[in-house]
Structure 1
Amino acid sequence: MDISEAMHAKADWASADMPVSEVARMMKADDIGAVPVGKDDRLIGMITDRDIALRVVAEGRNPDKTRVEEVMTKDIVYCQTHETVEDAIHLMDQKKIRRLPVLDGDKRLVGMLSLGDVSHSVGRALSGELLHAVSDHHP
């Protein structure tokens, strides 16, 4: 199955210069834990609820004055619409991540693929293996 059949087609992104507090409100409104970050119409990172907790709250930074670009995760792991869900599962397993931005052939953000999307698209055994892999305890 192609990723384009399993992904959430709607994917908002945050601007790199947006205050972290605004992204947190987006996360709350959409009940999500990760938002792609864009600059000059290109994907440049991801900001997660974990980024906010560890790089803003735990460090005592002001979320109204801290910009997304300062605390986002810069190493972007993504998949493309023409790949299969199985390809995405292997990537998520390898990188130990639960969400992937989905890019089209022009490298434009067209959706997000989450662990939940995978679980609704493939068999229970395969989605269970992925859940186990990305949920491994840290040593």
Structure 2
Amino acid sequence: MEVSKAMHAKADWVSADTPVSEVARMMMVDDIGALPVGKNDRLIGMITDRDIALRIVAENRDPKRTTAEDVMSKGIVYCMTNETVEDAIHLMTQKQIRRLAVLDEHKRLAGMLSLGDISHAVGREMSGELLKTVSAHHA
């Protein structure tokens, strides 16, 4: 199955200079845990609810004055819409990540692929192995 058939097609992204308070508000409204971050028409990272908890709340930083770029996980791991879900699972397993940005043939954000999307698209065995791998305690 192609990633385009399994992914969540509605995907927003935030500009690098977006205040973290606005990022958190977007996450709350859309009930999501991660947003890609862009700068100069390129994706440069991903900001997650975990980034906000550890790099804003735990460090007592001001979310109105701190930007997405200040606290995001740098770099972006992605797959393409025409790749197979199995290839995406392999990448997620290798990188131990729970979400992938999905890019189209023009390298534009087309969607997001999450563990939940995969669990609906493939069998229990394959999605179970992915969950086990990405949920393993990091050394």
Question: How far apart are residue 132 of structure 1 and its match?
Answer: 0.6
**Is there any run of 5+ residues in structure 2 with no aligned partner, and where?**
none
TM-score, length-scaled by structure 2 = 0.97
**Is there any run of 5+ residues in structure 1 with no aligned partner, and where?**
none
Following TM superposition, the consecutive aligned residue runs of length 4 or more in structure 1 with deviations greater than 4 angstroms are: none
Percent identity between the aligned chains?
Answer: 75
Residue 107 of structure 2 is aligned to residue 107 of structure 1: yes
1:19-42, CA deviations, whole angstroms, 9 ceiling, x for partnerless residues?
Answer: 000000011111111001112222
1:32-43 correspondence to structure 2 within 5 Å: 32-43=32-43
CA RMSD of aligned residues (A): 0.9
1:82-118, CA deviations, whole angstroms, 9 ceiling, x for partnerless residues?
Answer: 1100000000111110000000111110100000000
Secondary structure at the counterpart of residue 113 of structure 2:
strand
CA distance in 2, matches of 1:9, 1:42: 19
Aligned to 1:9: 9
Aligned to 2:68: 68
TM-score, length-scaled by structure 1 = 0.97
1:44-59 correspondence to structure 2 within 5 Å: 44-59=44-59
Question: How far apart are residue 138 of structure 1 and its match?
Answer: 3.1
Question: How far apart are residue 51 of structure 1 and its match?
Answer: 0.7
Aligned to 1:125: 125
CA distance in 1, matches of 2:93, 2:38: 25
